[in-house]
Amino acid sequence: MNKRTLINPVINLAVGFVIAGCTATSNLTMADKGDKIKLPAAEFNIQNGTDKQFYFDKYRKALAINAGNPKLRDVYISASKTLDKSFPTGHYRIHLSTITEVDGESSYRFYKNNELLATVFNPPTKLEFEKVHHDLGRFNLAPGDIVKVSANAVTNGKIPEGDITAYARGRWVSLTLTAE
């Protein structure tokens, strides 16, 4: 990734304005257009102090919900990541990579600093475990921001499993950020 480190007194903002004459000394790393940052689900914090948390599906390299536990069905489970101080500030097009499941169409929510910014749904599928890339939109991100993905385990009622129907596990793989 090509980064620009800018030091006051002149800071070149992402929108192209120049501010001169500042006396404070600080470092600001800006994202260059086209830079891509991948945030794998495995890097997100899933320890939220409750029994309602994701597990890591090693085979698919995804966070998933244990739909075998009735308490985890039809509720949102969350994982978060704080962007560290070296994260380049900028406007990003954000894509969420999820995995389809034949037994349900999970929904996913994207938050920045606890503000809900986007909700997307996996499409119905006849093919198990295909990756889907959801465009969540364009958002400004900076060091210290907390990004969060929530998912749910749901059933579409199509796959019998004992006395009930099977549930999708809300699997997701990563967020991909592309600087604009």
pLDDT at 14 over 60: no
User: Letter for the amino acid at 101?
Assistant: E
pLDDT in tens, 127-154: 999 999 999 999 999 999 999 999 999 9
Residue 49's pLDDT band (boundaries 50, 70, 90)? Answer: low
pLDDT at 22 exceeding the cut of 80: no
CA 114 to CA 110: how far, in whole Å?
9
> pLDDT-derived band of residue 12, with 50, 70 and 90 as boundaries?
very low
CATH class assigned to 31-179: mainly beta
Read off the pLDDT of residues 97-134 as tens digits, 9 standing for 90 and up: 999 999 999 999 999 999 999 999 999 999 999 999 99
Which helix or strand (DSSP H or E) is residue 101 part of? Answer: none
